[in-house]
Chains A and B, each alone.
Chain A
Amino acid sequence: MDFTPHTSADIGEMLSRVGLASIADLFGHLPERVRVVGDLDLPAGISEPELVAAITALAERNDDLVCFAGGGHYDHYLPPTVRSLNMRTEFVTSYTPYQPEVSQGVLQALFEYQSMVCAITGMDVANASVYDGAGAALEAVNVAVAATHRNVIWVSEAVGPQVRQTIATFAHARGIAIVEHPIVAGVTHWNPDAVGPPAAVVVAQPNYLGAIESYGSAVEAAHTRGALAIAVVDPMTLGLLRAPGEAGVDIAIAEGQPLGGPLTFGGPGVGLFAVTEGLVRRLPGRLVGTTTDDNGRLAYVLTLRAREQDIRREKASSNICTNQSLNAIGVAIQLAWLGPDGLTEVGRQSAQKARYMAARLTTIDGVELAHPAAYVREFAITLPVAPAVVIDAMAKEGILAGIDLSADYPELGNGLLIALTEQRTKEEIDAYIALLREVIAHA
């Protein structure tokens, strides 16, 4: 295939205009040593039908599994209405709205995204997105370190392992110490004697094992020590649970994929990032505000730009430039599609299905809830056999059984994390339970 419009006549004319005899002359000034001799060792180009066949062949190597896995990414219903609006070519093929006069569409869409993120989290200000949930955690930690001039972070062990690993990767370089706080009966026990004082206290709500944490104890652990309280939330539970902003959280973050985004093997998703008013000047990334144009008309613009890398360079609040705007717009469209009642209904159905499933799973010999704490739509169980065995056996039967917890939470033994969405039917849940019973019996 070829996506360039050049005819050989065009090329001839352009070359003569720039005073060159051949295409090779365009590169005549490059040092000999660095030039590619001959062709790249790559397959030749192919036609579009061949390409479609090749991609289809790759796609067929994936199995289509009924999804009971979560861990930040969830299989919610994605309405064609939302997807087709999100994929409007003007949103898809534009870039950062540096020129507001021709970017009002993206700017307003992001302003409304910021507004709706604040509406569901109860926070004052949200930025126009960061990369993903884990990236949001990293940015939040950076904000806290800058705001407090401290370099210790308290993190609950019940914050997702991949989120903690991502924070740890970057913390090392900057000499930030991560102190993890243990899980007791499913929820975080904030150890008052841990090394501190911390810049931030990081809690997940619900936590990675599905348990509902006490906002009060996390916020108190933070605020009594002059630290910021950071909460990683599951956005689909916000129609049921208290908003982090109401609970005194300073920075609320989330992986936004469940809102208007397909799973796509975990990316692109979007990091939701919302703060209290006092932290607005420390926000990472883009922020859209409003003003008027030279004729007094309402206009949306990128604002507080002095925080950003292209202006502040090494003193910027973050290095982020390209973000996840398109996914952020998807979040907004999905939230508008759901409205207040739809968001609550998704949460309610997911939670009801989780309760239904957990109650029946635990009738299987050797299967128990991993902790006694209340949960919403995700819960952890312990199995009498290795989770990997169960996951593999059930995948062969078309079910993604959940996430293996045994490596990240060895203290649970054979832990398995199961997530429900409104999409899972009673029939699918019952089939899961029957299959698990069989797998365990034959293990």
Chain B
Amino acid sequence: MPKPGGSAASSPLVGGSEEPTLKEISIPGRRAWSLTPLDVPEIELDLPEKSEGRVALPEVSEHDLVMHYTRLSHRNFAVDLGAYPLGSCTMKYNPKVCDWAAEHPAFRDLHPATPESSAQGALAVLLEAERFLCEITGMDRATFQPPAGASGELTGLLLMRAYHEDKGEERSKILIPDAAHGTNPASVTLGGYEAVEVPSNDRGMVDVEALRGLVDDQVAGLMLTNPNTLGLFEENIVEIADIVHEAGGLVYYDGANLNAIMGVAKPGSMGFDIVHSNLHKTFATPHGGGGPGAGPVAVHDVLVPFLPGPLPEADEEGVLRWVMPAKSIGRVHGKHGNFGVVLRALTYMKALGGDGLRRVSERAVLNARYLEELIRGPYDLPYDSPCMHEFVASAKTLKKSTGIRAMDIVKALMDEGFHAPTVYFPLIVDEALMMEPTETQSMQTMDALANALLSIADRAATEPDALHAAPVNTPVGRPDEASAARHLRVTWRSDDD
């Protein structure tokens, strides 16, 4: 029986004992820094607003510093340690060659104000990445300024506003499904719109009749992810887009779930007008403990004049230049977006090519279907139609019979050397367990993950107390989160007070 190398059932993958803070390690007089002595004649710096005294930073040796951060890293799970089926986040393997590309000195040391003539390589990276994204999504042009998905959403909403205003119209509402990610409604508010919820039907899809009842001339657009947050392909997507378009609205694609459909179906063919992609999901750029990501926004021709700018374009001589779109909404990032992330994503897309990207989606879907099949039974599958790259299971029955909740299950799973799936999202599913294995997990790893989930379900009946107490193999057990909020301590400085 082949063993899944390191990635499962070899817990604990994270460990280490409590690590003091740098402040606790600090000893006055120690230092790690090393700088060349000043090589110009020193003069009196007569500064207004001068600081008095030293900044209260820790003082540590270089080795202190190395030990501290190395030890901290041991206390953290990661894709490079094991399976990370965190639904909606696409925690796939992040190829090392992409890191190499981003660390290339010609990109790494490039100042954002470098004149076009000296930054042709960087502008070419943006243009080539744009070509890939537009072909994958069925759009015409893209901006790389949005630094994450949520920023892409807000950019998309501002594009909608600009489009309607350009036609002399003022609209006030954005439709979003009840299963939408929290960033969608939050972006709607920031975009100056009112969020109106569209209910899902009992099959987990947008309720088309309800949608019909909600559209009117105040609807600026609809935001949707497809596959939706239940991992299901919206079968009526073309009709949905038509309904919104007939009312004069635009349709926005939340690209969080693009990993399911590359080379298989294009948002452009489904009727979407604006598409954001999460490069940190679909295009394998690492998640960095919470970021950075990139949320480029691609649009159809009619919206190109409104895109944030400047955008790179080739002039008659083939020299790449920055050009501001005619009716641009303006900037959404101080510089050119998270360029280093875009470069990683381009490296990934070039490595795979059109054929490889399609294979990614095929295998992402195959993996999710397979895992879903393996855990069927003890776990409810409330929307049991064919899933795409992820699926939402539920611990509702298990909870009823044993008192064990989704949260207990994922905590126990961590004891087995896996990261938790996403829990309690989407909000329309009770005791939700949202699982996204991604295409980079092997069949053997999924077998091990499923076995762990099945054994936890068994133990729910036989030893519920042990599951309530999980995890026990991790550096800390369940924290008292209420107490953290009640006795707020968010810097080490408060210790002095």
Contact = CB atoms under 8 A, between A and B. Distances in A.
A173 B334 contact: no
Interface string A338-364: 111111111011011101100000000
Nearest to A402: B113
A95 B289 contact: yes
A56 to B, nearest CB: 7
Contacts of B99: 87, 92
B427 to A, nearest CB: 9
A169 B332 contact: yes
Contact of A105 (B76, B104, B358): B76
B65 A333 contact: yes
A115 B49 CA distance: 23
B331 A265 contact: no
A119 B331 contact: no
A443 B211 CA distance: 65
A122 to B, nearest CB: 9
Contacts of B74: 90, 105
A308 interface: yes
A355 B355 contact: no
Interface stretch (A188-196, A221-229, A294-302, A434-442): A294-302
A142 B73 contact: no
Contact of A339 (B57, B115, B374): B57
A45 B355 contact: yes
Most B Cβ at <10 Å: residue of A48, A58, A114: A58
Query: What bracket does the count of chain A residues touching chain B fall in?
Result: 35 or more
A183 interface: no
B238 A33 contact: yes
Interface stretch (B119-127, B243-251, B394-402, B455-463): B119-127
A60 B106 contact: yes
Interface in B3-61: 13-14, 18-19, 21-23, 30-36, 38-43, 45-52, 54-60
A43 B350 contact: yes
A411 B32 CA distance: 45
A263 B76 contact: no
A336 B65 contact: yes
A64 interface: yes
B44 to A, nearest CB: 9
B141 to A, nearest CB: 16
Contacts of B118: 62-63, 65, 395, 400
Interface residues of B, number: 204
B454 interface: no
B337 to A, nearest CB: 5
Most B Cβ at <10 Å: residue of A56, A298, A303, A391: A303
B21 A42 contact: no
Interface in A315-344: 315-316, 318-327, 329, 333, 335-344
Contact of B192 (A118, A124, A175): A175
B62 A31 contact: no
Contacts of A333: 65, 69
Contact of B335 (A10, A132, A309): A132
B108 A2 contact: no
B347 interface: yes
A230 interface: no
A139 to B, nearest CB: 10
A81 B57 contact: no
Interface in B174-190: 181-183, 185-190
Interface string A1-38: 11111100011011101101001001101110111100
Interface string A162-188: 110110111011110000000000000
Contacts of A412: none
Given A94-B287, A319-B186, A55 B488 contact: no
Given A81-B65, A105-B76, 10 more contacts: A10-B442, A61-B121, A73-B113, A97-B290, A166-B333, A169-B331, A215-B49, A243-B51, A291-B481, A322-B287
5 contacts: A62-B119, A166-B331, A241-B47, A264-B110, A268-B341
